[in-house]
Structure 1
Amino acid sequence: MTGFGYTLMTEQSGPKELVTYAVGAEKAGFDFAVSSDHYSPWLTSQGHSPYAWTVLGAVAQATESIELMTYVTCPTMRYHPAVVAQKAATLQILSDGRFTLGLGSGENLNEHVVGAGWPGVDKRQDMLVEAIQIIRELLAGGLVEWQGEHYRVDSARLWDLPDVPLPIAVAVSGDKSIEKFASIADHMIAVAPEKVLVNGWRHVRNMAAGSPSESRVIGQIPICWDPDQQKAIDRAHDQFRWFAGGWSVNADLPTTAGFSAATQFVRPEDVADSIPCGPDLDAIVESVRPYWEAGFSDIALVQIGDESLEAFLAEAAGPLLEKLRAAAKVK
């Protein structure tokens, strides 16, 4: 069965609202909820960026069964990996084993704020490999001393460890990142429905382990449901036109002003061509279909616009999930 998730977009909603929406997503029947982990929104019009880990702690207490995940945390610059290990272990305890630690190599938008610069992609991925190794060591429960190429850990130990093992998922975008991470992570994250990524991930894992192993493949797609199609298009253009640049560009832009300048010529119709907008639930299903056809096991939806979320969860989410699950069964 394909799992369908709800995205807690910290860039478009305040912390209390995010907790309320997580409760609503659980009631609507979503299988899991992922949270972005930003220091800044992409565009000023989005207007928010609360601390994701505080929000997730509150969500863990306000919900009962919905799985939780960071999508994604960068454990290399703004956060030291030893700190990420501690807060992830704590969240796994608070959620009674419902948490997956989603990791990635980060975006300049969020990581530059600590004044440590912005390395090239190869260095960022090498840093992430070492960070995952440190996190694994700490989650194993022993006293950790580490002197690596990028990090030092001095006599660190996690004193509160979860009874349920903490899965780690890692964002990949191509062959190089798959080679680096497939053998050291549990699950794969990707933002494009590319079957070649799924096949490459599974191949490397099978070769490393010697036999097939269970591994989730988790994707994400923006949608903009609204009874008024033009209103949905306008909202998606206002708040999500940054999406048009693609992740290879988005990872390097440092400020909301940069994203605004980079997307100034993106038209509303351009956004509507790439994001399903309006009341047609069947059109949303068709936009999600390429993910499960590419082999993704889990797909998180991003409903664009804080002002639309109460109505989306109350009116559209349930019927949409029914349609998605029915369509995903026929592969």
Structure 2
Amino acid sequence: MRIGYFLSTEEYTPAELLEQARGAERAGFEALWISDHYHPWTDAQGQSPFVWSMIGALSQVCQLPVTTAVTCPTVRLHPAVLAQAAATSAVLHSGRFVLGVGSGEALNEHILGDAWPQADVRLEMLEEAVEVMRELWRGGFVNHHGKHYTVEHARIYTLPDAPPPVYVSGFGPKAVDLAARIGDGFVNTSPDAELVRRFRENGGGDKPCQAGFKAAYAPSEEEGVRIAYERWPNAGVPGELSQVLPSPRHFEQAGELVRPEAMKDAFVCGRDTDAHLAKIDQYAKAGFDEVYVANTGPNWQGLLDLYQREVFPRVR
């Protein structure tokens, strides 16, 4: 299993994210995830730099492959614009760039005043958006007049040698089936063997399956729980709320219903090596090929050191 590091743009400044990327490469992580948000989930997280600026900067500070986890190519940015951004990112990273896409959350996508479609419509838009991007990556001028998107006489001139792979996230049956049908890989955040099986059996075959989990490195489990609850109470918000709530304020309100103890289920809290190994093993047993760990709070260097010193020697 490939183990990567998840850069949380919701929580760290651009300079901190670049330092984490350098540190992750030195520590032995094999790849990077990076989130794509307009807003953080809560004000306590406090950041949200533009991911495409960050991806360009990452190409200059480390050689690790980068996947967006995940970009919504349907509402906030037109797929023709994202196709250009992804193509340039693939060039800068010498082909080590993967465009992870999903149907998005209102938190980030409502900012221009567009209606937030129902889930089935969002999946329909996602499929057409991926079609538009792949058409543009073939080169030449493109005219597209679809149900949701129009492209007129557009051409991307700066293209990588091969189009960037598109990995599709899915958490429900319809989204997983779409990922299996149109994706070059699958993205999720839960060690759910049934979702991996569904992806593989419905057309995904042996394509890569990526997943990620969160940690709160701290001197003790109790301190890790405190940090996680302070920064990410939204990790305990259930169901479809994460897709429909429109602002950090609403996530903070929903987070008030979450008990601090719930962070023990949502995060690996503290600095116990066995806890990290057990979490990685859950994803391996579920059938994932890659897993990415994100740190929350100020102690990210401690997490990198823990993996370099204790986790990687035992995993590998």
Equivalent residue, structure 1, for 2:103: 105
Q: Which residue of 2 aligns with 1:293?
A: 285
| Residue in structure 2 matched with residue 83 of structure 1 by the alignment | 81
Between the aligned partners of 1:90 and 1:246, the Cα distance in structure 2 is 36
1:247 and 1:167 mapped to 2: Cα distance?
29
1:32 is matched with 31
Matched AA of 1:171 = S
Q: Report if aligned partners of 1:4, 1:321 keep a CA contact under 8 Å in 2.
A: no
Partner of 1:61: 60
1:26-70 alpha-carbon deviations (Å, 9 max, x no partner): 111111101000011111111100101101100011112x11010
| More displaced 10-residue stretch of structure 1: 173-182 or 111-120 | 173-182
Q: Deviations over 1:51-105 (max 9, x none)?
A: 01101100011112x1101000000001100011101000000011110000000
**2-structure distance, mates of 1:204, 1:148:** 26
Instruction: Tell me how far apart the structure 1 counterparts of residues 91 and 85 of structure 2 sit (CA, whole Å).
Output: 10
More displaced 10-residue stretch of structure 1: 175-184 or 53-62: 175-184
- 1:322 paired residue number: 312
Structure 1 segments of 4+ aligned residues over 6 angstroms from their partners: none
Q: Is the 8 A contact 2:217 2:300 kept in 1?
A: no
Counterpart position of 1:254: 246
**Matched-pair contact (CA < 8 Å) for 1:57–1:94:** yes
Q: What letter matches 1:318 in structure 2? A: Q
Could you tell me whether the CA contact under 8 Å between 2:27 and 2:308 is conserved in 1?
yes
Which of 161, 164, 167 is the aligned partner of 1:163? 161
Alpha-carbon distance, 1:152 to partner: 0.2
Residues 129 and 181 of structure 1 are in contact (CA less than 8 Å); yes or no, is this contact kept in structure 2? no
Q: 1:216 Cα shift?
A: 0.4
* Alpha-carbon distance in 1 for matches of 2:221, 2:154: 53
Residue in 2 aligned with 1:23?
A: 22
Find 1:192's aligned residue among 187, 190, 193: 190
Q: Within 5 Å, which residues of 2 pair with 1:146-225?
A: 146-205=144-203, 212=205, 214-225=206-217
The question of whether the paired residues in 1 share the 8 Å contact of 2:235 and 2:266 is answered with no
What is the TM-score when the length of structure 2 is the normalising length? 0.96
> In terms of mean alpha carbon deviation, does 93-102 or 174-183 score higher?
174-183
Mapped partners of 1:273, 1:194: distance in 2: 14
Distance of 1:184 and 1:265 partners within structure 2: 37
What is the percentage of aligned positions where both structures have the same residue? 37
Structure 1 residue 312, shift from structure 2 partner: 2.5
Unaligned runs of 5+ in 1: 207-211, 327-331
Q: Report the TM-score, using the length of structure 1 for normalisation.
A: 0.92
2:220: which partner in 1?
228
Q: Secondary structure at the match of 1:226?
A: coil
Query: What is residue 52 of structure 1 aligned with on the other side?
Result: 51
Distance 2:25 2:239 in 1: 29
Give 3-state SS (helix, strand or coil) of 1:177's partner: helix
One-letter code aligned to 1:181:
A
Give the conservation status (yes or no) of the 8 Å contact 1:224–1:233.
yes
In the alignment, the residues of structure 2 paired with residue 286 and residue 143 of structure 1 have an alpha-carbon distance, to the nearest angstrom, of: 50
1:266 paired residue among 258, 271, 292: 258
Supply the distance in 2 between the matched residues of 1:27 and 1:323 (Cα, whole angstroms).
Answer: 14
CA contact (8 A) 2:214 2:266 kept: no
Q: Which residue of 2 aligns with 1:310?
A: 301
Q: Matches of 2:290 and 2:56 in 1, distance apart?
A: 22
User: In the alignment, residue 107 of structure 2 is paired with which amino acid?
Assistant: L
> Which residue type is aligned with residue 194 of structure 1?
D
One-letter identity of the residue aligned with 1:261: Q
SS at match of 1:31: coil
Q: Is the 8 A contact 1:11 1:48 kept in 2?
A: yes
- The 3 A distance-change label for structure 1 pair 324 and 298 is farther
1:316 maps to a residue whose letter is L
Match of 1:72 in 2: 70
Deviation per residue, 1:187-220 (Å, 9 max, x gap): 00111111111111111216xxxxx5x4100001
Report the 3-state secondary structure (helix = DSSP H, G, I; strand = E; otherwise coil) of the residue aligned with 2:210: strand
**Deviations along 1:156-179, whole A, 9 cap, x unmatched?**
111011013311100011221122
Shift of residue 267 of structure 1? 2.3
Amino acid at match of 2:79: P
Query: What amino acid does structure 2 have at the position aligned with 1:135?
Result: M
Q: What is the CA distance between 1:265 and its match in structure 2?
A: 2.7
Shift of 1:228: 2.9
The alignment covers a number of residue pairs equal to: 316
**1:329 corresponding residue in structure 2:** none
